[in-house]
């Protein structure tokens, strides 16, 4: 704003852009008119902010009411979540792209399954051979005995044979 003329600075001095905050003001607006416009905008802004706050309060009240109704109906957060997830999965599986990828994956699974099926049988046979060795059977017996001892200690009452020691009197 020029002190000599009382007018707002010209666009050549300060170009008006959408980000300048004064994009709608013409260079011919006087100081008084500009002050009046600012006061109107401030009033309108305050009114709009008050309306927003009222709407937030109404929304919060509606959310509480909806929650209370869901509780009365037995609808839990977990049920809503699982329903949303199930619906999302259904939406994905119903797409044409998913159907194409699924068909291709089934074909690949059958091809790869034959290769790994033989590998699994081979590993299973090796494990059976390992179970027949003396070392494996020895370790198995020792682990089984330790597990039995721990079970006995957990099941028997304190102070009984094989149970945990009795607690010291207070």
Q: pLDDT digits over 32-66, tens only?
A: 999 999 999 999 999 999 999 999 999 999 999 99
Q: Give the percent of the chain with pLDDT over 70.
A: 69
DSSP state of 19: T
**Single pTM value for the model:** 0.36
* Alpha helices by DSSP H, the chain: 31-73, 77-93, 96-131, 134-155
Other C-beta atoms lying within 10 Å of the C-beta of residue 163:
14
User: Which of 29, 36, 40, 35 lies closest to 6 in space, CA to CA?
Assistant: 29
The pLDDT of residue 159: 56
Q: CA distances (Å), 36 to each of 19, 25, 147, in order?
A: 22, 13, 88
């Amino acid at each position: 704003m020029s002190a000599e003329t009382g007018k707002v600075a010209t666009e050549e001095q300060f170009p008006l852009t959408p980000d300048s905050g004064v994009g709608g003001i013409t260079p011919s607006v006087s100081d008084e008119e500009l002050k009046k416009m600012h006061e109107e905008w401030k009033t309108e802004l305050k009114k709009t902010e008050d309306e927003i706050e009222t709407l937030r309060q109404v929304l919060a009240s509606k959310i509480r009411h909806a929650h209370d109704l869901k509780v009365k109906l037995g609808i839990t957060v977990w049920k809503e979540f699982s329903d949303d997830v199930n619906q999302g999965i259904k939406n994905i599986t119903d797409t044409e792209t998913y159907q194409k990828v699924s068909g291709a994956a089934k074909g690949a699974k059958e091809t790869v399954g034959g290769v790994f099926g033989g590998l699994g049988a081979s590993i299973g046979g090796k494990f059976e051979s390992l179970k027949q060795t003396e070392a494996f059977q020895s370790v198995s017996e020792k682990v089984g005995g330790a597990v039995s001892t721990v079970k006995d200690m957990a099941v028997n009452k304190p102070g009984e044979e094989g149970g945990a020691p009795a607690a010291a009197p207070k």
